[in-house]
Amino acid sequence: MDHFLYRDGALFAEDVAVADIAAEVGTPFYVYSTATLLRHFRLFDAALEGMDHLVCYAMKANSNQAVLRTLAQAGAGMDVVSGGEYQRARAAGVPGERIVFSGVGKTQAEIRTALEGGIRQFNVESEPEMAVLDATARALGKVAPITIRVNPDVDAKTHAKIATGKSENKFGIPIARAREVYRMAAAMPGLEVVGIDVHIGSQLTDLEPYALAYGKVAELTEALRADGHVIRRLDLGGGLGIPYERSNADPPLPSDYGALVKRTLGHLGCEIEIEPGRLIAGNAGLMVSEVIYVKSGEGRDFLILDGAMNDLIRPAMYDAWHDIIPVVEPAAGVERAPIDVVGPVCESGDTFARQRMMPPLLAGDLVAFRSAGAYGAVMSSEYNSRPLIPEVLVHGDQFAVIRRRPTFDEMINRDTIPEWL
């Protein structure tokens, strides 16, 4: 469910007409719904009711500070994967004890920043990282709380580029070596082992891979406790999918996921952490774009937009589907025809949809890409010297620009020309 609905033939974001935002801000732009962000966070929080738990929003999905503060004020922790994300979380008002630091390539500088600023835990991904973390913590006179990420070799049945739990992926310690690595960690005075971490991938639409992975985590918990380790926290990652294509069957609900967690891990008495990102932010956002031209080609027509692959790269990178709808609701029964929806960048990859069935549209019409709140703005770039597009947050009948569009002068003046030129 989201809060982007037609009213009297016009698309609204909560109680604000999308066309009104476009008139003030210009296109293209992202718009996020506060009500949808909060609803989805609370669904996860309620799904784990009865268990000691913390829902840590995966910032990589959407790291705008207004989004972070909205969720933090509702009680969310944060899952960060870089020093920059850590600094963003702190700037948004999130205390260090509610921040989990994940990622396979934490640098010593990033580790130091988090240790000095406060951290809930580091999710350690390798023995070399563990050694650097131990040495850095001891040099600062601190002890770093850690979980160790285990790779359970479970096929998440998702896109190859967002699968993280198979043996050939770069993430985590092979689960077969976990007891050995935990023994190493226990011997390092700069570390405090607090639990286990696992994350098998993103955009999962089936609970079975979770069941397999969590079953292995339960067995490992018992084995590590038998070895003398205090395992009091299980970080289960995120990855639950969203319905990008509305005509397809819906993925499992957070309540289904929560029931699975309780069934497979509830008997262990551990605090549970989960790290959803896409399901919280994905359907909470639209990208809105204007039609520049409608072009007739050889055997196919093209809808050319002012939004491009640098603004929303998922279709070019993952062949990802986004529903594309007109901002003015089409008349009932209007005939639709296949058309390629493309952007202005000089690459064939700048294609959002091929032969998509769309109602008639003209230059100047507005369209909205649904489910664009996650991995949209955060993955955007200034390719072709196109400015980063604005982000807008709606709250009831109010809206605010939470990232403005830079001017061309601002973009150009970031460059420095050497004195010999």
CA dist 166 → 172, 220, 240, 258 (Å): 10, 17, 17, 23
> CA 267 from chain center: how many Å?
30
Distance CA 178, CA 224 (A): 9
Buried-exposed string 149-164: b where 16+ CB fall within 10 A, e elsewhere: bbbbbbebebeeeebb
Please report which helix (H) or strand (E) contains residue 279, including its range.
Answer: helix 278-281
Residues 6+ apart with CB under 8 A from 21: 13, 29, 31, 288, 392, 394, 399
Active site residue 346: yes
Cis peptide before 174 (omega within 30 of 0): no
Residue type, 44: F
Tokens 């005509």, residue? 247
Sheet holding 4-7, edge to edge: 4-7, 10-13, 16-17
Beta bridge partners of 121: 100
Distance CA 57, CA 73 (A): 12
Beta strands 337-342; 301-305: pairing state: parallel
Which of the following is catalytic: 346, 362, 417, 421? 346
Distance CA 164, CA 171 (A): 6
What are the residue numbers of the active site?
A: 346
